[in-house]
Amino acid sequence: MAVKQSNVSKVYLDAYDLTVGGLEAMIAAVRAEQDKMDLSNTAEAIHVGAAGLSEVAYSGLHDTTATANFLGLKGLVGSNTARILSHHYGTTIADYAIQTQVKVLSLREAPRHGQLLPLSAQFASQQFPDMGQVLYPKTTLTASTSASAAGIDGAAATSSGCVWGYHVFAWSATGGNVRWNLLLQDDTDPAFGTANTLATVNCVAVGAARSAAVTGAIARYSRLRVELDATSGSITLAAFWRRIPD
């Protein structure tokens, strides 16, 4: 049995790292129940309905670090824009991960005499969660690089495409095109000798997005390549990936 330790579990919301100060976090898939009753029924009949959205919860301790939980939740609460929420269950490429989209409804604090300040948030789910893998663990880069030589081994190709998303926690660029480029790539070769770019995102600021789904064929191996399209700069990011099986 492989036991996962909590110190490698990460929680990201938009451009914020809720792991800092976090104590508990949850993303649960929700399937609706349907009560199919008529006059001929003599007992209650509950049937499983269609998969719905997700149930999300978070609690921790008030932490005022610039990209941590308090300022992140404070800055996003009340916004009508759906925000990307990711849980990474590990800090290695291909570890399990979950991603969904939420709106932050409230930020709650409960001061207690002589104790650290508890903090929690209430969310409105906007999406059924994607169950996938860590495409790129949280990393700070100052030059172009690929996530790994072999990327993620999907064991076989698929014709059904994929979904992916990213968080950019910190960003700077000077000169050139003043941006960083995120390239989702695949290849039949684990060395990516003839890497094919499936999708490209031009990053010009901090933020996060669930990128448009990639349709069609995906080769066995997949990776994220990060390219500096400027003279100099720095970027801190993490990324999620889910291959859609045939």
pLDDT at residue 101 above 80?
yes
pLDDT, tens digit (0-9, with 9 covering 90-100), for 35-65: 666 667 666 666 555 556 788 999 999 999 9
Topology of domain 7-31+51-130, CATH? Elongation Factor Tu (Ef-tu); domain 3 (2.40.30)
Q: Which amino acid is at 109?
A: E
Q: Can you tell me the distance from the alpha carbon of 204 to that of 16, in angstroms, rounded to the nearest whole number?
A: 17
pLDDT for 246? 82
**HSE of 157 in the Cβ direction (CA atoms, 13 Å)?**
10
What sign does the dihedral 200-202-208-209 (CA atoms) show?
negative
96: region left, alpha or beta (phi > 0 left; psi from -120 to 50 alpha): beta
Identify whether the C-beta of residue 131 lies closer than 8 Å to the C-beta of residue 242.
yes
pLDDT, tens digit (0-9, with 9 covering 90-100), for 162-220: 999 999 999 999 999 999 999 999 999 888 888 999 999 999 999 999 988 899 999 99
Given this structure, which CATH class describes domain 135-243?
Answer: mainly beta
CATH 2.40.30 domain extents, the chain: 7-31+51-130
Identify whether the C-beta of residue 129 lies closer than 8 Å to the C-beta of residue 100.
yes
The verdict on pTM exceeding 0.95 is no
